[in-house]
Amino acid sequence: MSNQNPSLEVTTLPRSETAPRRKVFVRGLELDAFIGAYDHEQDATQPVIIDLEADVLEPSHPIGDRLEDVVCYDKLTQGIRAIIEEGHIKLVETLAERVAELALSHSMVLGVSVRITKPNAIAEAKAVGVEIFRAKATEI
């Protein structure tokens, strides 16, 4: 590994059942999205609220106060915005799967819980939605 660009260094992760872990979360991220399977949902955005909690394996060396040593919640939210900006999504389940895939693409993320809420979908309900949990197969 070259030390010419320290931002490209790979974080070394421990391989032990007792490896330290942390939770990284985004709660209540409200975005307008083209989402829904019904005709009346095709031509206008509606709010969705996204909650994400990632189970993160900590690096084997002490944190050096560098973004490279952590799962950055700002990058996660930017990625979620990019998913929504790709265009219309019919199902909240599809959006949840894409958000989970985004989080799991980070090498330090072992598992992720994603909740997608549509607060205006059913007039009589405070909110409706879906929550999923996805995990990587680990060698720990």
Has residue 127 been placed in a domain?
yes
Average the pLDDT over 18-45 and give the result. 92
Has residue 37 been placed in a domain?
yes
Structure tokens at 114: 């994603």
Structure tokens at 75: 């990058």
Quick one: which of 30, 31, 23 has its CA closest to 71? Answer: 23
Has residue 6 been placed in a domain?
no
Whole-angstrom distance, CA of residue 137 vs CA of residue 134: 10
Q: Count up the domains in the chain and report the number.
A: 1
Has residue 9 been placed in a domain?
no
Structure tokens at 35: 């989402």
Give the model's confidence band at 64: pLDDT under 50 very low, under 70 low, under 90 confident, else very high. confident
Has residue 45 been placed in a domain?
yes
Has residue 10 been placed in a domain?
no
Kindly tell me if the per-residue pLDDT of 37 is higher than 90: yes
Domain boundaries, position 55: 16-135
Kindly tell me if the per-residue pLDDT of 140 is higher than 80: no
Q: 21: which strand partners? A: 57
Q: Residue 87 belongs to a domain with what CATH number?
A: 3.30.1130.10
Catalytic residue among 23, 118, 126, 136: 118
Kindly tell me if the per-residue pLDDT of 14 is higher than 90: no
Considering the entire predicted model, what is its pTM?
A: 0.84
Structure tokens at 12: 């070394």
Please say if 118 is a catalytic residue.
Answer: yes
